[in-house]
Structure 1
Amino acid sequence: MGILAWIVIGIAAGWLAEQIMGRNHGLLTNLVVGVLGAIIGGFLSANLLGVPVGGFNLTTFIVATIGAVILLFVLGLFKRRTV
């Protein structure tokens, strides 16, 4: 998958995860969260479920969004502990 596809899916997945988790971030943060979420989601999908995900399709977007939600949830746990 090309870098442009990673950026598009990352921004969209990060934005959707932000909406699901009730957060408010900027475009760059959504991109970072979405791309990291895609990596996390892809890793979990391949290793825990045995379902490799790739390409520019709806499944990739869903997996990236789930990974981004997991990332925001975990980061939220750390943020609550330090405050």
Structure 2
Amino acid sequence: MLWTILGWIVFGLIAGFIARAIVPGKDDIGVLRTILLGIAGSIVGGLVFGLLTVGLRGFQPAGWIGSVIGAVIVLVIYNQVTGRKRRSRS
């Protein structure tokens, strides 16, 4: 059980950091929110993949690519809802 939780934390951290690197601009969300972003991205990626392929079959986390895509979607929505990301002045 402990290893499963630690695995989700590491997986979420890596997927969250990759998503933050892909989405342009600066994100000051911290490590905990980055982990939660990656975990939520895995869930969203699993839902999107399930809908596009075999249909929705309940909770199913995605693999690395699906998790990063899901994390990007979650990060963009989070930035829109909270207004955290402002366009930089050029």
- Tell me the TM-score normalised to structure 2 length: 0.70
- Name the aligned partner's letter for residue 8 of structure 2: W
- Name the aligned partner's letter for residue 42 of structure 1: G
- 2:68: which partner in 1? 65
**Which one is further off, 71-80 or 9-18?**
71-80
- 1:10: which partner in 2? 12
Q: Does 1:30 align with 2:41?
A: no
RMSD between aligned alpha carbons? 2.6
Hey, what's the Cα distance between the residues in 2 that align with 1:60 and 1:5? 13
- 2:44: which partner in 1? 40
**Which 5+ residue runs of structure 1 have no aligned equivalent?**
none
- Name the aligned partner's letter for residue 39 of structure 1: I
Percent identity at matched positions? 32
Identify, as 1 or 2, the structure richer in helix. Answer: 1
- Bigger radius of gyration: 2
**Which 5+ residue runs of structure 2 have no aligned equivalent?**
none
What is the CA distance between 1:70 and its match in structure 2?
A: 0.4
Hey, what's the Cα distance between the residues in 1 that align with 2:82 and 2:32? 20
Which 4+ runs in 1 deviate beyond 3 A? 51-54
